[in-house]
Structure 1
Amino acid sequence: MKDPSLRRSAALFRAFLHEQSDPDHCYALLARDAANQVEAWAGPLAGRLVVDVGGGSGWFTREFRRRGAEAYLFEPDAAELGARPVPGAVLADGYLLPLAEGRADVCFSSNVLEHVEDPATFLSELVRVTRPGGLIYLSFTNWLSPWGGHEWAPWHYLGAHRARARYQRRTGRPAKHTLGENLHAVHIGPTLRQVRARGDVEILVQRSRYWPFLASAVTRVPGLREFATWNLLLVLRRCP
């Protein structure tokens, strides 16, 4: 996979800046971008079974379906589905998906890992439902990245409690995320070691999801990667 272009990275960054005011544009663009990444490794999605785990209001699922995939959304939080959930969406815990083993051609999870308390169990479930030879697309925002605190970033560098208090003072409303409840400090180094220790997956891609140059190299430098990667993308193949 080639490094992302600077133009592509800039377009995504501009969309993120307007996420609150124009979420439709932001997430439609992100969904198209993610589907392009999946197809770079899995090939055309038409006729493939794609499982979108934790996909919220369904932007990714809709894009996969637009490309001809048989795509299903599994989301644990009814509020995240929105007022008009994607047809066929299922309320389901990512630790225990209502799917038979080896069912999916592609198991997709975008920016969910930092919101689960037990990443190892979550990853094991993604692997379980993926067929041998199938792909797992996993990306997450690591805690020490400039966006690690989500809506109260980058003030999380000064402490989560202080950052959340500042957010409430500035906006007049409580922050959506609370560290240790629905946001967790996930780091790149431990995550990579955890994945490499598994015997049931092979790492095909290890790179910054949005970085416009040296996207793979930056994830291989301990220390630096925790700050510079922003968002880690792993594409895994389930071993036979």
Structure 2
Amino acid sequence: MTRVFARRATLRRSVRLLSDFRYEQTDPDIFYGALARDSLELVEDLYAGATGEPLSGRIVLDVGGGPGYFADAFHGAGARYVPVEPDPTEMHAAGITVGDAIRGSGMALPVRSDSVDICFSSNVAEHVPEPWTMAEEMLRVTKPGGLMILSYTLWWGPFGGHETGPWHFLGGEYAARRYARKQGREPKNRFGVSLFDVGAADGLRWARSTSSGELLAAFPRYHPRWAWWMVRLPWLRELLVSNLVLVMRK
């Protein structure tokens, strides 16, 4: 069911995204604009591959949707896009208004069970203390036959420490203290508070053991298709996969 998206997963795409990622802190409009387009293509292709249906008319719940950078992309595809964000500061950070936005925690979604066609989360699971509680909640609110797509950054990958990397390899607390000392301010992503050590093995273990859904696919989000084999190798995947996508069917 990943065949449609796999055609997009080229080395050229990987290089383009890596180039855009450098703007995360300095120009978030560039960073999140690129990520929004890529997220739409990811969700659209996976949904089409699993169901044979287009995204138009479907309800997409984005857990940790932040200020709503993804809204225009999903609305443009005809989907009803509903972001959920616990932090009101994040919701209003970019001055974007999303009519269906919900304030709430991913670990206790204020959404009724079996109510959305697709539940999606991009680069959020590493920021919550109980990511698999959040994943179960995502499955709970997904309609039977719908998709849950969870994409998250691996701790031991090159971007695991976010702005404190690559020093997170020496420990999250050390990396946070070093950042504060060098920059004169606390990092946005503070280890143990808003950034946690979560790996590929953790997600795969949960996905294969949960009774709430079926694992359809697991692959590196930003890698070209010919590098997806890395997910199959313990230890190596923790270092090289960088961002793991888990695709579950309710």
Give the TM-score taking structure 1 as reference length: 0.94
Mapping of residues 114-153 of structure 1, within 5 Å: 114-153=126-165
Partner of 1:108: 120
For 1:32, which of 26, 33, 37 is the aligned residue?
Answer: 37
Query: What's the Cα RMSD here?
Result: 1.4
Distance 1:211 1:217 in 2: 10
Partner of 2:83: 73
Distance 1:101 1:61 in 2: 23
Partner of 1:210: 222
For 1:50, which of 34, 47, 60 is the aligned residue?
Answer: 60
Quote the offset at 1:83 in angstroms: 4.8
Secondary structure at the counterpart of residue 211 of structure 1: coil
Mapping of residues 187-202 of structure 1, within 5 Å: 187-202=199-214
Quote the offset at 1:142 in angstroms: 1.0
Deviations 1:114-138, CA, capped at 9 Å, x for gaps: 1111122111110000001101110
Distance 2:130 2:31 in 1: 28
Quote the offset at 1:46 in angstroms: 1.1
Distance 2:185 2:105 in 1: 28
Tell me, yes or no, if the aligned pair for 1:62 and 1:86 is still in contact at 8 Å. no
Tell me, yes or no, if the aligned pair for 1:103 and 1:130 is still in contact at 8 Å. yes
Distance 2:62 2:169 in 1: 31
Tell me, yes or no, if the aligned pair for 2:150 and 2:247 is still in contact at 8 Å. yes
Show structure 1 runs of 4+ deviating over 6 A. none
Q: Which letter does structure 1 place at the counterpart of 2:119?
A: C
Distance 2:129 2:188 in 1: 17
Mapping of residues 76-87 of structure 1, within 5 Å: 76-81=86-91, 82-87=93-98
Distance 2:184 2:57 in 1: 47
1:229 aligns with 2:234: no
Deviations 1:133-156, CA, capped at 9 Å, x for gaps: 101110100111111111101110
Partner of 1:182: 194
Unaligned runs of 5+ in 1: none
Secondary structure at the counterpart of residue 207 of structure 1: strand
Quote the offset at 1:168 in angstroms: 2.2
Structure with the larger helix share: 2
Quote the offset at 1:169 in angstroms: 3.0
Distance 2:247 2:71 in 1: 18
Partner of 1:157: 169
Quote the offset at 1:87 in angstroms: 2.1
Tell me, yes or no, if the aligned pair for 1:207 and 1:215 is still in contact at 8 Å. no
Partner of 1:61: 71
Q: How many pairs align?
A: 238
